[in-house]
Amino acid sequence: MTGPDLPTEVGAFLRAVLPATGAAHLCVGYSGGLDSTVLLHLLAAQRQDLGFTLSALHVHHGLMPEADAWAVQCAKVCAAWAVPLTVERMTVQTADKGVEAAARDARRAAFSRQKVDAIVLAHHQGDQAETLLFRLLRGAGTRGLAAMRPVVSVAGSPALWRPLLTTPRGALMRYAEAHSLSWIEDPSNADPRYSRNFLRNAVVPLLATRFPAVTAILARTATQMGEDADLLDALAAHDMQGAMDAEGRLSTACLAALSPPRARNVLRHWLAQAGLHVGRARVDDLLRQALAAPDAHPLIQINGYTLTRHAGILALSLYHAEG
C-alpha cells in the first residue's frame, strides 16, 4: 500500500513558510510519542538542506508515574539525532478545568516562552477530525469548526506550524516502522474518561464502519470552515473601515448600522484582535450592552480585560484589580 511521501510533503511545507534565507530556529513540540517522533526525525533530516536551526521542547506535566522516564527517553533520542532538548517541568492547575484543558494550557504557556521563530507540532489528519467533532459537540461556530490551522501567527510568541495536518496517522506509523523508530506509548491515550479519547477510540471507528473515509472528510470540512472563517474576517475588516480610531477603539454607531449577524461578526473580530475569543452567547450579551441606551455606561470584565463604552465608543483595557 503506497502512501504520502512524508519527506517531500514536509519539505514542501517548510519551503513555503521558511524565510527566503531559510535562517530560522524551529522547535518541535516533542512528547516522545509516535507522531512527534516522526516529525522530529523528518525535520532533523532536512535541517541542513533547508538551512534552519532545530531544537525540541518536552513538556513534563508530571501527571503520569512514567513522566520522568519519558523525559529521559526524549533526551536519549534527541542526543542520538544531535537535536538540543529543553525539558520544562510544569505544574498543571486543574482547579477550574479538566485535565485535558489544563495540560493543553500548560503546553501553550511553555511554547510561548521559547525564544524561537516557530513551534512545530505533529498534529495529523486524525487529530484534526477529532478537534472538529469535539468543537461541534460543544456548539462551536464557523471559526471553532475551522479546528487547527497549519500556520498560526501568535503576537509576541513563536508561530505555530503543523506540517502533518493532512497526513493520515497510518502514514506516520508506516514511516516510523520503515525507519525503525522507537516511541513512547502513553496509557492515558486509551482512557475513555477523556473526551478526545472517547471520540478517537469509540466514535470515529464506529463512524468508519459506515463511512470509511470519515477522518479525511472531517479534516477536509475543517479546511473548508477555515476558508469560510477567513471570509468572515475579511467581511469584518470591511465593515470596520472608518469605525476604529488610532487607539483601536470601536464606534458603536458602526455596530448599530449593521444587521445583527454582521454586527456580531465585527464585535467578535474586534475582540479577537486583542486575543479575546468568546462564544456566541457571550458575543450576543456584549452586543446588547454595547448598543444599550445612550445614558448607560457598561463596564464588563472579559478574561482579564475591561470593556467600557463612553460617548458611543467601545474601548478595551487590561483589567487592574484595586488594592
Dist. CA 283–CA 29, nearest whole Å: 33
Domain boundary among 221, 249, 276: 221
284: domain CATH number is: 1.20.59.20
Mean pLDDT of 162-183: 96
At 268-310, the pLDDT tens digits run 999 988 888 888 888 998 898 888 776 666 778 887 788 888 8
Does residue 216 sit in the same domain as residue 245?
no
**Is it the case that residue 75 has pLDDT exceeding 60?**
yes
Domain boundary among 174, 189, 221: 221
88: domain CATH number is: 3.40.50.620
Does residue 180 sit in the same domain as residue 99?
yes
**Is it the case that residue 96 has pLDDT exceeding 80?**
no
Mean pLDDT of 44-68: 89
Specify the pairing of strand 118-120 against strand 159-161: parallel
Dist. CA 304–CA 320, nearest whole Å: 8
**Is it the case that residue 103 has pLDDT exceeding 50?**
yes
In a domain, 179, yes or no: yes
Are 77 and 38 a contacting pair, CB within 8 Å?
A: no
At 197-248, the pLDDT tens digits run 999 999 999 999 999 999 999 999 999 999 999 999 999 999 999 888 888 8
Does residue 116 sit in the same domain as residue 153?
yes
**Is it the case that residue 1 has pLDDT exceeding 50?**
no
Specify the pairing of strand 305-310 against strand 313-318: antiparallel
Does residue 67 sit in the same domain as residue 215?
yes
Please give the pLDDT value at position 236: 95
In a domain, 226, yes or no: no
Q: Sorting pLDDT into bands at 50, 70 and 90, what band is 148?
A: very high
Are 161 and 10 a contacting pair, CB within 8 Å?
A: no
pTM of the model: 0.88
**Is it the case that residue 83 has pLDDT exceeding 60?**
yes
At 109-138, the pLDDT tens digits run 889 999 999 999 999 999 999 999 999 999
Does residue 187 sit in the same domain as residue 261?
no
Dist. CA 297–CA 195, nearest whole Å: 41
Q: Which residue has the higher pLDDT, 322 or 62?
A: 62
In a domain, 235, yes or no: no
**Is it the case that residue 54 has pLDDT exceeding 70?**
yes
Cell for 282?
457571550
Most confident of 95-104, 153-162, 205-214, 303-312: 205-214
In a domain, 172, yes or no: yes
Please give the pLDDT value at position 280: 86
Does residue 288 sit in the same domain as residue 177?
no
Does residue 82 sit in the same domain as residue 165?
yes
User: Structural domain of residue 209, as residue ranges?
Assistant: 6-221
At 11-41, the pLDDT tens digits run 999 999 998 776 899 999 999 999 999 999 9
Does residue 191 sit in the same domain as residue 276?
no
Q: Sorting pLDDT into bands at 50, 70 and 90, what band is 319?
A: low
| Cα separations in angstroms, 109 against 103, 149, 158 | 10, 19, 11
**Is it the case that residue 322 has pLDDT exceeding 90?**
no
Please give the pLDDT value at position 276: 85
In a domain, 145, yes or no: yes
Please name which of 185, 307, 202 lies closest in space to residue 255, comparing C-alpha atoms.
Answer: 307
In a domain, 227, yes or no: no
Domain boundary among 170, 187, 221: 221
Mean pLDDT of 72-95: 88
Number of folded domains in the chain? 2
In a domain, 230, yes or no: no
- Measure CA 284 to chain center: 25
**Is it the case that residue 142 has pLDDT exceeding 60?**
yes
Does residue 46 sit in the same domain as residue 112?
yes
Does residue 73 sit in the same domain as residue 208?
yes
Are 107 and 59 a contacting pair, CB within 8 Å?
A: yes
**Is it the case that residue 2 has pLDDT exceeding 60?**
no
Q: pLDDT above 70 covers what percent of the chain?
A: 93
Does residue 135 sit in the same domain as residue 45?
yes
In a domain, 231, yes or no: no
Does residue 35 sit in the same domain as residue 184?
yes
How high is the mean pLDDT of the chain?
89
